[in-house]
Amino acid sequence: MTTISSGVSEQLQADFELLRETVNLQGRLKYSHKTIDKLAQYIVCRNYGKLCLELCYLCWPVIELNQHKSNALLSFFWLQDSCNASTFRVAISALLNNQQDATKSQGAQPFANDAKWRLNAQGLHYQSGKDTFTVSATRVNLLAAFLEWLLSHFHGLIDEIQLNLKGSDSKGVSKFASLLQKKIYDLLKKHLRNAGLQQKYRYIDNWLHNYHQECRQHQAIKPFDALDDAAILAFWQQSGQQEGFVRFQSAFFDMLDYQETQRIEFDKLNIKHAHSFDTDVNDPLQKNGLYEQVSACSVSDLDYEFLCQSPKSLTKAQYHNISSILATRRVLKDFPMSILRLNSFAPLQAILIQRKRNNVSAINDEGNGGVLDKTTQASQHTILKHPVAPYSQYYASLKKWEAIAANALLCCAAVLLVKKDERSLACLLEAVAFALRSDRTFFTQSSKLAISHDCLQSAYDKTVATLTEQSCRNPSFTQIQKLILACDGLHTLVDCAYRALSKNNRSGFQSEDSFTETTLYIESWQAISHCLELTNSFQGVCESLASTVSSLPVARDKVNEQGSVDDDTDHNELNAGLDEIFRADLFIFNDELEKRHGDFNGN
Amino acid sequence: MATNKPTKQSKEQSAFSESLFVATQQLRELKQKGSSSNQKLLFNDLVFCAQLPGTERAKEILKTINTNLALRSQYIRVLEQLCWDDSAKQVSASTSDLITQRDSARFSLRLKPDPINPDQVYVLLTLKMHDSDVSSSMEHGVFLHLLLDKQFTVFHFPKPIEGTAQKLIEKQSRLYTVLSHPDTHMFLQAKDRE
């Protein structure tokens, strides 16, 4: 549903969703998620001048070197799918070789102004007299995605490009790039709406200033300081009537975005654009490096959803379990209660909002007769079936998640061992370290590993001792193989990893035939490690939070010593502390959600 | 850790912060998944449909193309660029006259009644220019993309042998109407793979 505060049209949202799912004729993903995210960033920052020029300088030789083909661009970008660095080099190389052969046989110069193209280390280099331009091979995926997006709005663009660039010179290419830029500028007026978001920004800014003023007057409450959990909650409670802040999730993330923009001091950055071909030269956004600043914001990076693809380390549900921690990773220690509230209450609120929408459409639907349709009945049932999860439950789910992630990491290590990669040892040690720290369910799942916590700890300690003794740093795979034979601790760890792999039926892990490129397992390892650090960090924050409520000391130190909370008393205290906080929040949220969405408790 | 901010910022910095906030919010919206139910196609989908029309995905894409004028125009352009040859609308005394034969530069199509069963008709395709390169590109057969009354239909021939291929269809079928209609625009396309 489009709200007034939505800054992007539904069509533009659909465009980018489609781009992310685009597959080539062989069924492989054509544009990486990073590419699409980058393209989205260029579009929202209205920083597409250089993209237009690069695209034109890419299309120009494809057309000129394929003079006999009327479908040069279609063939290059879609049939051959020359849309990543390696396939691009192969395709351009073939075109240049064909052109050289044709030139030799005809003794003629086929291009205007004696222009020349050649492949260099960076990419496709154009030179004619003093005019030079290089299309970097690493940018080709982005440029191809850019062209794909443009074609969804300008249906005749392929023909227009061919008509304007064929037989052209560099001036003609620049001119066409400027025209393209102007078309995009006009297009985005319809699809990027700033007014509502500017209003939102000013509302938040105004509210926060007033809030801080009040805090300063009542010094006993809190000093004028920072945004915190109490401020987030107060903001949400007081903004219930404001469009765009009905959801707690929206209020929280919008406030974080606001905070981030204040934090970034743009005068520390020295931004230069290599080429500036803006038609609107007075546009300050282009001058102030908005694209680079957005890159520094947390919305721009960290997409680990590839962990749900091949090689599949996590299911979508498992990834979703930690998605809020990933989204708030920079502020885990600042807003722990808001993150817990988000996890527990946001799903319920989403169901309530959906139920309201279904009720509205049921009322609008003639002949309904006031009877709830099946979708509404289902959502009612969902509310009853899945009551709000207490904070202690989320904390426990994180512990279980760690066990799942550690197992996935073990499988990655096992694959790297099979592939005889020297990084397999480091991966294995990290996986075991995380496994030892994780929930006990890792070891009670005896069908998977058949090893106890103490045995694994002992094997790990022996391995570390051996490596230290031998001052073994960055061993080659041959050295690793020798170590496996010499050190029974390492042998045990390797066995454990292979056992975990043998039980793994997920894509990319089932058998040696299904293994994909090594880099994907390395990337998965890095991503999972990062996620484990973040979840561990957040658990520490939860434990500190619980201790502020509980009268007994925090159990954190005991967790570090033993690798898990195996002291039942401390575990119960932790849960008690978290549950007490949850009960207080439940009262607040129950009241607030009823105000916004009506009675949902069946009263 | 959130930082202390003065209560007043310079006008310029405030404007930039606002722009940064707007861009961040818009980027967040573009990264959302499952947010839209618009039926839209990318150029890539049109190429896929043209190259692999026998697949289930292509059949779904074609349904969408058939409902949208802009997509149809773009798809015609794609077929023109990818097809081996095409046969435009034919001249006839009236649109009620059906055509049992049509010739283009590189192929001809003939509709011949089945002598045994009058309810069935043979569709005979003859390639006028065929060499080893052409034959190998049609190893998996050929598709005839048929456009009539703003609707695309696809007809598949098996691999041509010595430049000819044939298939049997029902005379009462829509396919026969489309194949024999003078207004039908035909595009011949080699099948990419099995």
Residues A550-579 have a mean pLDDT of 61
State which residue of chain B sits closest to A25, comparing Cα positions: B48
**Is residue B67 within 8 angstroms of chain A, CB to CB?**
no
pLDDT of residue B93: 61
The answer to whether B64 contacts chain A (CB < 8 Å) is no
* pLDDT value at A281 more than 60: no
More confident residue, A2 or A430: A430
B25/chain A closest Cα distance in angstroms: 7
Whether B136 has its CB under 8 Å from any CB of chain A: the answer is no
Say how far apart CA B40 and CA A152 lie, in whole Å.
9
Joined together, the tokens standing for residue A537 give: 């960090």
The average pLDDT across A410-424 equals 94
Place of tokens 């045994």: B116
Query: Would you place residue A285 in the very low, low, confident or very high pLDDT band (cuts 50, 70, 90)?
Result: very low
Q: Give B-chain residues touching A24 at CB under 8 angstroms.
A: 44
**B residues 23..52 contacting A (CB < 8 A):** 23-36, 38, 40-44, 47-48, 51-52
Q: Is B132 at the interface with chain A, CB within 8 A?
A: no
Q: In this predicted model, which residue has the larger pLDDT, A337 or B38?
A: A337
What does the DSSP 8-state code read for residue A23? B
Give the residue carrying structure tokens 């195996």.
A566
Give the pLDDT of residue A68: 75
Distance in Å, alpha carbon of B1 to nearest chain A alpha carbon: 6
10 Å CB burial of residue B63 (0-12, 13-18, 19+) is: exposed
Residue A174 predicted with pLDDT over 90: yes
Q: Which of A144-158, A263-277, A339-353, B24-38 has the lowest mean pLDDT?
A: A263-277
Which is more confident, A290 or A50?
A: A50
Q: Contact A427/A408 with Cβ under 8 angstroms? A: no
If we measure between CA atoms, which residue out of A484, A455, A454, A450 comes closest to residue A467?
Answer: A484
Are β-strands B185-190 and A131-136 bridged in parallel, bridged antiparallel, or unpaired?
Answer: unpaired
Q: Alpha-carbon distance A152 to A74, whole Å?
A: 14
Residue A114, pLDDT > 60, answer no
A148 and B43 in contact by Cβ < 8 A?
yes
Residue A213: what pLDDT? 79
Instruction: Give the mean model confidence (pLDDT) for residues A97-114.
Output: 62
Q: Which residues pair with A116 in a beta bridge?
A: A127
Residues in B touching A155 (Cβ below 8 Å): 70, 73-74
Q: Could you report the per-residue pLDDT of A361-382, keeping only the tens digit for each?
A: 655 554 444 454 555 555 555 5
Q: How many CB pairs under 8 A join A and B?
A: 166
**Could you tell me the pLDDT band of residue A445, with boundaries at 50, 70 and 90?**
low
Residues A33-39: what's their mean pLDDT? 91
Place of tokens 């500017």: A198
Which residues of chain B have a CB within 8 Å of the CB of A292?
Answer: none
Helices (H), ranges, A386-513 = 391-418, 424-437, 441-444, 446-449, 453-469, 477-486, 488-502
Confidence of residue A279 (pLDDT cuts 50, 70, 90): very low
Q: Which two tokens stand for residue A117?
A: 């193209």
A17·B17 Cβ contact <8 A:
no
Q: Residue A451: what pLDDT?
A: 82
* pLDDT > 90? residue A73: yes
Q: Does residue A243 carry a pLDDT above 60?
A: yes
What mean pLDDT do residues A399-423 have?
A: 92
pLDDT score of A263 = 78
**Within 10 A of B120 (CB to CB), how many other CB atoms are there?**
16
Q: How far apart are CA A81 and CA A93, in angstroms?
A: 15
Percentage of chain B with pLDDT > 70?
Answer: 82
Q: Say how far apart CA A359 and CA A363 lie, in whole Å.
A: 6
**What was the ipTM of the complex prediction?**
0.88
Do residue A300 and residue B32 have CB atoms under 8 angstroms apart?
no
A468 against B5, higher pLDDT: A468
Per-residue pLDDT of A40-62, as tens digits, reads: 999 999 999 999 999 999 999 99
Could you give the CA distance from residue B48 to residue B66 in angstroms, rounded to a whole number? Answer: 15
Please count the other Cβ atoms lying within 10 Å of the Cβ belonging to residue B163: 16
Our CA-based measurement puts residue B115 at a distance from the nearest CA of chain A, in whole angstroms, of 42
3-state DSSP of B91-118: CCCCCCCCCCEEECCCEEEEEEECCCCC
Tokens of A110: 């086929």
Q: Give me the mean pLDDT over the A295-305 stretch.
A: 75
Residue B150 has pLDDT above 70, yes or no: yes
Q: How confident is the model at residue A277 (pLDDT cuts 50, 70, 90)?
A: very low
The pair of structure tokens assigned to A376 is 């509404």
Q: What is the predicted pLDDT for the residue at A61?
A: 94
B22 vs A17, A194, A213: nearest CB: A194
Whether residue B74 has pLDDT greater than 80:
yes
**For B28, which residue in chain A has the nearest alpha carbon?**
A299
Residues in chain A with CB shorter than 8 Å from the CB of B58 are none
Which residue among B2, B51, B74 sits closest to A227, beta carbon to beta carbon? B2
Interface contact B24-A285, CB threshold 8 A: no
Query: Average pLDDT for residues A548-576, to the nearest whole number?
Result: 59
Q: State whether B78 and A74 contact (CB < 8 Å).
A: yes
Supply the pLDDT for residue A377.
55
List residues bridging with B71 in a β-sheet.
Answer: none
Half-sphere exposure of B69 (CA within 13 A, CB side): 0
What would the pLDDT profile of B75-120 be if each residue is shown by its tens digit? 999 999 999 889 988 876 665 678 888 999 889 999 999 999 989 9
Mutate to test the interface with B, among A71, A203, A326 (most CBs of B within 10 A): A71
Q: Which chain A residues touch B13 with a CB distance below 8 Å? A: 266-267
In A, minimum Cα distance to B48 occurs at A25
Which of A14, A194, A197 faces B38 most closely, judged by CB atoms?
A: A14
- State yes or no: pLDDT of A562 exceeds 60: no
Residue A506 Cα, gap to closest chain B Cα (Å): 24
The model's confidence at residue A547, banded by pLDDT at 50, 70 and 90, is confident
Q: Please give, rounded to a whole number of angstroms, the shortest distance from the CA of B59 to a CA of chain A.
A: 15
Residue type, position A554, single letter: V
Contacts of B33 in chain A (CB under 8 A): 17, 20
**A80 residue type, one letter:** Q
For A494-533, the pLDDT digits (tens) are 999 999 999 898 988 988 888 888 989 999 999 999 999 9
Q: What is the DSSP string of A262-311?
A: HH--GGGS----S----S-TT-HHHHTTHHHHHHTSGGGS---GGGGSSS
> What letter would DSSP give residue A167?
T
- Residue A530 tokens read as 């990062």
- Considering only CA atoms, which of A248, A256, A253, A259 is closest in space to residue A341? A248
Predicted local distance difference test score (pLDDT) of residue B134: 66
Does the pLDDT at position A424 exceed 90?
yes
| Least trusted range by pLDDT, from A282-296, A332-346, B53-67 | A282-296
Question: Which of A154, A252, A265, A293 should we substitute to test contact with B (largest number of B Cβ atoms within 10 Å)?
Answer: A293
pLDDT at A363: 57
Confidence at residue A573, expressed as pLDDT on a 0 to 100 scale: 81
What per-residue confidence (pLDDT) applies to A582?
92
B26 Cα to chain A: minimum distance (Å): 6
**Closest to B20 (Cβ–Cβ): which among A192, A261, A331?**
A261
Peptide bond into A311 cis (omega under 30): yes
Residue bearing the bigger pLDDT, A292 or B184: B184
* Chain B residues closer than 8 Å to A267 by CB: 13
B55 touches chain A (CB under 8 A): no
Tell me if A155 and B4 make a contact (CB, 8 A cut-off).
Answer: no
Which of A1, A39, A262 to probe by mutation at the B interface, max B CB count within 10 Å? A262
For B81, the closest of A71, A148, A263 (CB atoms) is A71
Q: How far is B120 from chain A (nearest CA, A)?
A: 36
**Quick one: pLDDT at residue A267?**
42
CA dihedral A581, A584, A590, A592 (to 10 degrees): -100
CB A143 within 8 A of CB A54: yes
Return the SS3 of A5. Answer: coil
Q: How far is A13 from chain B (nearest CA, A)?
A: 5
**A98–chain B nearest CA distance, Å:** 19
Which pLDDT belongs to residue A300? 66
pLDDT, position A561 = 46
Cα distance from B95 to chain A (closest Cα, Å)?
31
A196-A201-A205-A206 Cα dihedral, nearest 10 degrees: 0
Which chain A residue has the Cα nearest residue B1? A334
Note whether A288 contacts B19, CB cutoff 8 Å. yes
Which of A2, A5, A13 is the best mutation test for B, with the most CBs of B within 10 A? Answer: A13
Mean pLDDT of the A7-23 span: 92
Strand bridging mode B142-148 / A116-119 = unpaired
Q: How is residue B33 annotated by DSSP?
A: S
Angle of helix B11-30 relative to helix A33-44, nearest 10 degrees, comes to 140
Say what the pLDDT of residue A33 is.
85
Question: Mean of the per-residue pLDDT values for chain A?
Answer: 82
Residue contact B30–A44, C-beta within 8 A: yes
Residue B17's pLDDT is what?
A: 85
B34 neighbourhood in chain A, CB within 8 Å? 17
Q: Do A290 and B44 touch (CB under 8 A)?
A: no
pLDDT of A256 over the 70 cut: yes
Residue whose pair of structure tokens reads 């004619």 in the numeric block: A128
pLDDT band at A209 (very low <50, low <70, confident <90, very high): confident
Q: How many helices (H) and strands (E) does chain B have?
A: 6, 8
**pLDDT (0 to 100) of residue A368:** 45
Query: What percent of chain A clears pLDDT 70, i.e. is strictly above it?
Result: 80
Contacts of A295 (CB under 8 A, 6+ apart): A41, A301
Q: Which two tokens stand for residue A361?
A: 């459409």
Q: What tens digit of pLDDT does each residue of B7-63 get?
A: 454 666 678 889 999 999 999 999 887 655 556 899 999 999 999 998 999 999 999
* CB–CB contact A14 B7 (8 Å): no
Contact A142, A129 (CB under 8 A): no
